[in-house]
Each structure stands twice: as C-alpha cells, then as structure tokens.
Amino acid sequence: MHELSIVDAMIKQVEREVRESGHDGHVVHLDIVIGRLSGVNVDSVRFAFDLLSPDTLLEQSDLRITESKAVCLCEACESRTEIDDFVAACPACGSEKITFEGGQDLFLDSIELVD
C-alpha cells in the first residue's frame, strides 16, 4: 500500500511547515486534494492517516479530502465525459482517440492551526 509512504511524507511536510512558520500549536484541519486518476485510494489514505498521525502535530486533526475530477476528451465525437478511472475508449462513442484532463494531482491544500 503506497498510501502509507505518501501519508508519511505528507505528515513530515506539514510538521516542517508548521515549525518553519514559527507556530508551536497543533493542526486542527488539514485539506488535501487527491485526483481521481492519481492512483491513490482515499480510504487507504484515511487508514494510513489514522495509523500515522498519533504522536505528531497532526494528532486529532480533521483530515478533509477533496477528490479532483477527471475528464475524458474525445477527438472523434468531441465529447467531454467525467470519469472516475482511466478508460480505454470514449464512453460516448467508443473511439480510442482520447486524452485525459485533470484528476492526476495530489497535494496539500491548506493547514489550519491552533496555538
């Protein structure tokens, strides 16, 4: 499960940013964005977070996950179809002349602290 190493890196990043900002509070809210096509499983991220956050600045913080959407663009019929996963062909006409837009990001959006 590579979500464990992703979440581990994320927690270290947050702790570093909090330290560098000069605060010594703890994190109450954490917003992250996970793209539908990023290959990262949201449930696994939550599981990893519950496992790794105790004894860090993120202990008891509320993890909010936004899933960014992905769109399949078809060159043949020019449709834009929202998709939850990679597809091999256009869902509308079956053409394989498709490209994907969005949904591949994975980043930390915001951190909210209390002192």
- Give which of 78, 67, 74, 79 is closest to 103, Cα–Cα: 67
Nearer to Zn ion, 65 or 92 (CB): 92
Query: CB burial class (10 A; 0-12, 13-18, 19+) of residue 78?
Result: exposed
3-state SS assignment for residue 39: coil
* CB of 102 vs Zn ion, minimal distance in Å: 18
User: Interface mask (CB under 5 A) for Zn ion, residues 70-89, using x and -?
Assistant: ----x-xx-x----------
Span near Zn ion by CB under 5 A; candidates 21-29, 40-48, 51-59, 69-77: 69-77
- Residue 51 CA from chain centroid, whole number: 17
Binding site for Zn ion (CB under 5 A): 74, 76-77, 79, 90, 92-93, 95
